[in-house]
Amino acid sequence: MTYAEFLERSHFSRDELLAMAYGRLVSDAPDGFSARLPTPPMMMVDRILEITGDGRRGRIVAEQDVSLDAWFFHCHFLGDPVQPGCLGVDAVWQLIGFYCAWRGALGTGRALGCGEIEFSGQIRPHDAVVRYEVDIKRYQELADSAIAIGDARVLVDGSEIYDLKRAKVGVFRGIDYPDYPWPSANSRGGRIET
């Protein structure tokens, strides 16, 4: 799809999210459009059902199908399989980063933190669907970056199991590392200075 079509879309299929992960969704991406979703198995979303923006606010609703043989059920924990809570939090960060790109932020997304996280349930192998509802409370573009802050609810088969407050993602220009595994200017971590 074209960049203009990407910015106008209100939903995305699994195939489109996979294309985003591999950097192939937008055919005429502008310079600096380096946002990606993680590739499987770390991509924690199967479809975006709704994505909207209004000024500094917005909303994303997405789903993930639970798979009996998901990689994490094999190791977390033997004899007591449960999806790690941190993967649900990461899914929220993935969605907020996608939201930033969809709003026009150029650069590479990074999770910046979360104010509060409460777990009140779990995701097990025989559950069906995880639903992510993210309300963007603030989106702002700066000179070489953008930030989005949102509150989220995570539900499994209709029951709320996680509540996140002030989940933050930033998008920064010039921090991507496309020449992996070769050493280069961005091949080492540390504090992000833009």
- HSE-CB at 77 with a 13 A cutoff on CA atoms is 4
Report residue 109 CA to chain centroid gap: 9
Output the CA torsion sign for 179, 180, 182, 184: positive
> From residue 119, how far is each of 73, 97, 106, 123, 164 by CA, in Å?
18, 22, 33, 11, 9
Give the pLDDT of residue 85. 96
Point out the catalytic residue in the list 11, 74, 76, 126.
Answer: 76
pTM of the model: 0.96
Please give the backbone phi and psi of residue 193, each rounded to the nearest 5 degrees, phi first: -115, 115
pLDDT on residue 37: 97
Question: Which domains does the chain possess?
Answer: 3-172 (3.10.129.10)
Pair type for strands 145-156 and 159-172: antiparallel
Q: What is the Cα–Cα distance from 116 to 18, expressed in whole angstroms?
A: 30
Q: Is 76 a catalytic residue?
A: yes
Mean pLDDT of residues grouped by 10 in the chain (194 residues)?
Answer: 98 98 97 95 98 97 97 96 97 98 96 97 98 98 95 98 98 92 91 74
Alpha-carbon torsion angle 171, 172, 175, 181, nearest 10: 10
CA angle 31, 37, 38 (to 5 degrees): 125
CA-to-CA distance for 5 and 177, rounded, in angstroms? 27
Report the C-alpha gap between 192 and 107 in whole angstroms.
13
- Give pLDDT, residue 20: 98
Terminal-residue alpha carbon distance, the chain: 30
Supply the pLDDT for residue 192: 79
**pLDDT tens, position by position, 118-146:** 999 999 999 999 999 999 999 999 989 99
Position 194 scores a pLDDT of: 61
The pLDDT assigned to 191 comes to 84
